[in-house]
Amino acid sequence: MDALISPLLNGTALGALLLLAALGLTLTFGQMGVINMAHGEFIMAGAFIAYLTQTVVASSNVSILLALPLAFIGAGLLGLLLEIGIIQWMYRRPLDTLLVTVGVALILQQVALQIFPAQGVPVEAPDWLSGQIDVFGYAWPLRQVFTIVLAALCLVSLAVWLKYSSFGRRIRATVQNRDLAETSGIRTRNIDRITFFVGSGLAGVAGVAASLIGGTNSQMGTQYIIPAFLVVVAGGVGQIKGTVLAAWALGIALSFFAEWTTGSMAQVLAFVLLVVFLQFRPQGLFTVRTRGLT
């Protein structure tokens, strides 16, 4: 029983973390077509903000809750800066956004390396997250539960915001037909900026969760960026429900493969599994069917 329960629960938590990392990408990549390789470094920024908050507000019970909005705003501002400084010049060149942001990622990593110690910094979990709960005899760490709750909260607020707010409608209108949206009085430039801000901000929130689970150092972004993109690819670009399913499936798959083989072999197997999956669903889990060629 335990051989099944623990990878299932660990996998779900890992999936939640991947979902947090990928949610922002569904906005920047899915809605705007920007391949932001610095997204991982925005996650890193969120984690470092969690650490900095802790150095100011000594009580880790409070600081972690304070860190969430701060990380959202901090990473969001980084994203906004990137959009205004660079991305806005290259909306019609998706592959070039990838190359440009690879450069940005390198620079952000180096900045972090020069500010913070190379071996990384510790982010303490608050007392209320230090315990475990018992699930069928498996002691499930509370911080994993926290990740899942956080991911669910972000997911629901993003979905509600996109679906019901007038702003969400304007985003979707801009994605579907930019010219028409513009002539309908939507300021598409503002939409771009706010979408990018929110997408990057979500990476910051993911960073806070990541700081509680893994190490916080200048290289941490590189661990998350590729899995996060793979989740978006497998889920179907711009499809939030696909992203959720894909993140969960990838988390579960990685945990079970790791249970049966090793953590590193699990990554190879998960990659093979994804390529096989794409043979059947080259557009990902969910797609918007159109009559045009893609």
Enter the tokens of residue 158.
Answer: 């993003």
Region from 55-63, 135-143, 247-255, 266-274 binding other proteins, contact rule CB under 8 A: 266-274
Check: CB of residue 17 under 8 Å from CB of residue 206.
yes
Enter the tokens of residue 78.
Answer: 């980084």
Which one among 3, 176, 180, 282 touches other proteins, defined by CB under 8 A? Answer: 282
Cα(108)–Cα(103) distance, integer angstroms: 9
CB atoms within 10 A of CB 61: 14
Q: Does residue 226 bind other proteins (CB under 8 A)? A: yes
Q: Does residue 100 bind other proteins (CB under 8 A)? A: yes
Burial, 28: exposed, middle or buried (Cβ in 10 Å; 0-12, 13-18, 19+)? buried
Q: Is 135 helix (H, G, I), strand (E, B) or coil?
A: strand
Enter the tokens of residue 110.
Answer: 């180096």
Which one among 96, 116, 138, 259 touches other proteins, defined by CB under 8 A? Answer: 96
Choice between 4 and 107, CB closer to other proteins: 107
Region from 101-109, 117-125, 138-146, 160-168 binding other proteins, contact rule CB under 8 A: 101-109
Burial, 191: exposed, middle or buried (Cβ in 10 Å; 0-12, 13-18, 19+)? buried
Binding mask 10-49 for other proteins (x = CB under 8 A): -------------------x-----x--------------
Residue type, 202: L
Q: Does residue 117 bind other proteins (CB under 8 A)? A: no
Nearest-approach distance from CB 265 to other proteins, in angstroms: 7
Choice between 13 and 266, CB closer to other proteins: 266
Choice between 1 and 275, CB closer to other proteins: 275
Check: CB of residue 247 under 8 Å from CB of residue 25.
no
Which one among 62, 94, 149, 157 touches other proteins, defined by CB under 8 A? Answer: 94
Choice between 166 and 294, CB closer to other proteins: 294
Q: Does residue 118 bind other proteins (CB under 8 A)? A: no
Nearest-approach distance from CB 266 to other proteins, in angstroms: 9
Phi and psi at residue 134, to the nearest 5°: -90, 120
Region from 88-96, 142-150, 171-179, 180-188 binding other proteins, contact rule CB under 8 A: 88-96
Buried b (16+ CB within 10 A) or exposed e, 118-149: eebbebbbbeebeeeeeeeebebbbbbbbbbe
Kind and range of the H or E run holding 149 = helix 142-164
Check: CB of residue 151 under 8 Å from CB of residue 17.
yes
Which one among 58, 99, 115, 160 touches other proteins, defined by CB under 8 A? Answer: 99
Choice between 66 and 102, CB closer to other proteins: 102
Which one among 58, 62, 106, 153 touches other proteins, defined by CB under 8 A? Answer: 106
Q: Does residue 109 bind other proteins (CB under 8 A)? A: yes
Q: How many Cα atoms are found within 13 Å in the side-chain-facing hemisphere of 236?
A: 15
Cα(276)–Cα(249) distance, integer angstroms: 14
Question: Residues interacting with other proteins, by CB under 8 A?
Answer: 29, 35, 86, 89-90, 93-96, 98-100, 102-107, 109-110, 113-114, 222, 226, 229-230, 233, 262-265, 267-268, 271, 274-276, 278-279, 282, 289-293
